[in-house]
Structure 1
Amino acid sequence: MAFSFGFFNSKNLDRTYTAENFCDYLGSIICNGIQDNYSQCFKLTANKLKLTIGSGKAWIDGHYFLSDTPYTYDLSSYVNESLGRYLSVGICCNTGENYRKIEFEILAGTPATSPSIPRFKDTETKTYLTLCAIRIDAGATEIKVTDYRENTTYCGYVRCILGKCKVTDMMSQLAEITEQMKDYNTTIAQLTGKIDELTLKVDEVTGDVVSIGKCGENINFTLFSDGKLILKGTGAMFDYDNSSNASPFKDNPDIKSVIVSEGITSIGEYAFEYCNNLKTAVLPTTLKAIKRNSFMPHIDEYIVHQNLYGLIEITIPAGVNEIARNAFSGTSIKSVTIPSSVSVVGEMAFSECQKLETVRYSGKIISDRMFVRCIKLKNFTITKSTTEIFGGCFNYCESLTLITYEGTISEWNSITKHTNWDGHAVGTIETPLTKIQCLDGYMEYVNGEWREVHD
């Protein structure tokens, strides 16, 4: 019987360790396969008789293989004019004393009327991950690829911690937990709404009423002397404008807080425009839309860089799917979370919010000039729910140097980005934004372009 152990510091060279020792150790906790959170995961692309293997990282028996750029093979030499054949393409780890390397390898099958797929066979010194099988018909001008990357028999993805789960599985589980938290938050919001309803009933009995009226087909409002405005009913508020059809609340300095009851589905256009003393708004879980200029305070040249007026805090319910143009422009909010339910966003929805410091963004799009001139904005997180970023959205954001993205570099690159999305366009005061932090590295703005830096 023999024992082995490690790793310990050497004293007078009494301990030595080889690469094989480390590979044995890594192989015991990292299963063979493609690392699924690195770059393109060896994405396979066929173009006529050419096969391109995207960048990626793989682990084989504790050894790692990294390809940081796409690699293309011309397979025209394998075409047989009379018979079809298969090829297998894989990654070979060769530990033979005269090799000691990992590389792509092609195994060609025999041309035949009914060809069979050749299979890589592991040996004492060779271990394979098969990426794909390729069919080349007789006289072919293009290839047909069967992707094996998901197939655990031939390849599969790395499963860490003794093969328990893939890296992205853990991320998915975190996402599930996040969704559960959203459900809990919704429940809390509903309970809070019920408390607010009870408060309303008390106010209606004991409060000093200043005015009452209608602001929707089925919505009534009551304004109390303490500045509390209560909206009760169902459905959408009326839409107003800033001229002949003005909101009954427009430019009312007596309104200090708004409570919108459950059952109401929209905040009307220009509803609370120029309500400069309105500091808080409680919105219901039934809300679907926050319309144009709905909470925008009056901004004159004297206060444009002070943000003395308007909302100081807001919670956007998880069911909201639309935030229209200038909805919160010029308000005094310091932080905001945009839920994943938001799919329609108007221009400049949060422009000129010059006290805004922190944003967590899960909406589908970041709209045109959405955060323009938010001069104190410095903490900005984008989740994987976002698919499109429009131009000018970060123009004149003087404090924004970093954006945190909760996905990989590859996922970040898949987001549609319009011209000058980052505020670096010629002719504007450039934003200091120079880094997008991702899960597997970061994007860095250098010499007028964004570059990938992988961890």
Structure 2
Amino acid sequence: MSEFGGFFNSVNGDRKYKSEDFANYFKTFIGNGINPSKDSLRVIKKSNNQVGIMVGSACINGYLYLNSTELTKSISINVTRIDRVVIGLDIINRTLSVYVLQGTVSAPPVLTRNNSKYELSLAKIKIQGSTVNIEDERGQKEICGYMDFLGKDDLQNMWDLFNSQWAEYKELWQDWFVNMQGKSIRGIYIQNTRPAGSKVGDIWIEVP
């Protein structure tokens, strides 16, 4: 189907929409990532074998994730490994949730990103025996990042263009502004002869 228009009220069942239709709508203007508020979905250490995921929200490929209460996830101990806490969209199983992925001694698990599954990493967990360290990865654009409105770059380009063009005329504007200090923009002359040095827009009131 080359064209799609929506969304419209159904009349006798002639307008039926799928979840993909809504997701395709949202991903036209919302990019993948988590809500940019400070602690949104931040991973914290609760104990040596548990981490907490704070409240927050995210958007992956147009699908919405909301977490209204702090989650608790179990992690392994007495091992040497680098794990990750991720939020993953699974189209086939119709889920969007947070879970722990196990890595190896030397590397964290690779994120899955294909047509049916897409993962964002919230944090990297380094486990060495009973010692657990959490590294926040939410701000790393290539593996997570913050949701944003698509088209922002276009607005930034417009602003950069304005600034570059304004720089060319800024000195001329400043010279003109300095020279006009204490002067009326429109000259007003009250005399019986045509004023010398007058310009278009000046007012001349001729008196006998």
After superposition, the Cα gap between the structure-2 partners of 1:2 and 1:159, relative to the gap in structure 1 and judged at 3 Å, is closer
CA distance in 2, matches of 1:163, 1:157: 15
**What is the aligned partner in structure 1 of residue 116 from structure 2?**
125
**What is the aligned partner in structure 1 of residue 88 from structure 2?**
92
SS of residue matched to 1:24: helix
- Structure 2, unaligned runs of 5 or more: 154-208
Q: Which of 147, 152, 170 pairs up with 1:164?
A: 152
Give the C-alpha shift of residue 29 in structure 1.
Answer: 0.9
**What is the aligned partner in structure 2 of residue 430 from structure 1?**
none
**What is the aligned partner in structure 2 of residue 319 from structure 1?**
none
- Whether the aligned pair in 1 keeps the contact of 2:42 and 2:122 (CA below 8 Å) is no
Give the C-alpha shift of residue 155 in structure 1.
Answer: 0.6
- Whether the aligned pair in 2 keeps the contact of 1:48 and 1:142 (CA below 8 Å) is no
CA distance in 1, matches of 2:125, 2:68: 23
Give the C-alpha shift of residue 163 in structure 1.
Answer: 5.0
Matched letter for residue 118 of structure 2? T
CA distance in 2, matches of 1:152, 1:135: 21
Matched letter for residue 32 of structure 1? N
Give CA-to-partner distance per residue, 1:6-63, whole Å, 9 cap, x none. Answer: 22333332222112101100111111111124x8301221244131111111111111
CA distance in 2, matches of 1:153, 1:65: 19
**What is the aligned partner in structure 2 of residue 109 from structure 1?**
103
1:295-306 aligned at under 5 Å gives the runs none
- Whether the aligned pair in 2 keeps the contact of 1:31 and 1:163 (CA below 8 Å) is no
**What is the aligned partner in structure 1 of residue 184 from structure 2?**
none
Percent of pairs with identical residues = 32
CA distance in 1, matches of 2:35, 2:53: 15
**What is the aligned partner in structure 2 of residue 248 from structure 1?**
none
Give CA-to-partner distance per residue, 1:270-322, whole Å, 9 cap, x none. Answer: xxxxxxxxxxxxxxxxxxxxxxxxxxxxxxxxxxxxxxxxxxxxxxxxxxxxx
Matched letter for residue 5 of structure 1? G
CA distance in 2, matches of 1:2, 1:24: 14
**What is the aligned partner in structure 2 of residue 144 from structure 1?**
133
- Whether the aligned pair in 2 keeps the contact of 1:27 and 1:62 (CA below 8 Å) is yes
CA RMSD of aligned residues (A): 2.0
Give CA-to-partner distance per residue, 1:416-440, whole Å, 9 cap, x none. Answer: xxxxxxxxxxxxxxxxxxxxxxxxx
SS of residue matched to 1:20: helix
**What is the aligned partner in structure 1 of residue 74 from structure 2?**
74
Matched letter for residue 121 of structure 1? T
Following TM superposition, where does structure 1 have runs of at least 4 consecutive aligned residues deviating by more than 3 angstroms?
A: none
- Whether the aligned pair in 2 keeps the contact of 1:34 and 1:157 (CA below 8 Å) is yes
**What is the aligned partner in structure 2 of residue 153 from structure 1?**
142
After superposition, the Cα gap between the structure-2 partners of 1:24 and 1:147, relative to the gap in structure 1 and judged at 3 Å, is same
Give the C-alpha shift of residue 69 in structure 1.
Answer: 1.1
SS of residue matched to 1:29: coil
CA distance in 1, matches of 2:96, 2:151: 22
CA distance in 2, matches of 1:59, 1:122: 14
Matched letter for residue 72 of structure 1? T
CA distance in 2, matches of 1:157, 1:64: 13
Matched letter for residue 164 of structure 1? K
Q: What's the TM-score once normalised by structure 2's chain length? A: 0.66
Give CA-to-partner distance per residue, 1:106-152, whole Å, 9 cap, x none. Answer: 111134xxx11211121321111110111111x2x231111110111
Q: How many residues in Structure 1 have an aligned counterpart in Structure 2? A: 152
After superposition, the Cα gap between the structure-2 partners of 1:163 and 1:90, relative to the gap in structure 1 and judged at 3 Å, is farther
Matched letter for residue 117 of structure 1? P
CA distance in 2, matches of 1:105, 1:159: 23
